[in-house]
Amino acid sequence: MESDDRYEMLEQIGSGRYATVYRARDKSLGREVAIKQIHEQFLGGSLRLDRYWHEAQLLASLQHPNIVTIYDIDRERGWLVMELMQSTLAERISGRQIDLRSLRTALAHCLRALKYLHERGIVHGDLKPSNMMLDNRRRIKV
């Protein structure tokens, strides 16, 4: 877990095959953020990594209440700095049945985000409960 002058790494909050996500503090702006750090073995130039950075730049240009905001990227460190989410839909329901009203709300949020993306020629490609994140206002973001 690497820190720098601007970001103070606080704790690991998730990990996958491709990257680890940390809760961090942006000391310049005084807010908590999520930093997705690509695993070192994937940082050597590749077509997949180039596509990842291209998608990050594209997503950073989008503004929608149901899409996670990307604040910054640091290619050298493999960092994608973004809005800190509270949990995922998968974590929130944790194997329990979701009530119909909550399901409708979650689907409406996802559909708004997908409509916005599709109007711009973007296909999400991996929509599932673990990629449906909840912000501090309990809105679903993809």
CB atoms within 10 A of CB 114: 17
CB burial class (10 A; 0-12, 13-18, 19+) of residue 69? middle
In 3-state terms, what secondary structure has residue 132? coil
- Percent helix, percent strand, percent coil in the chain, to nearest 5: 30, 30, 40
In 3-state terms, what secondary structure has residue 141? strand
Which DSSP category does 43 fall into?
-
Residues belonging to the active site: 126
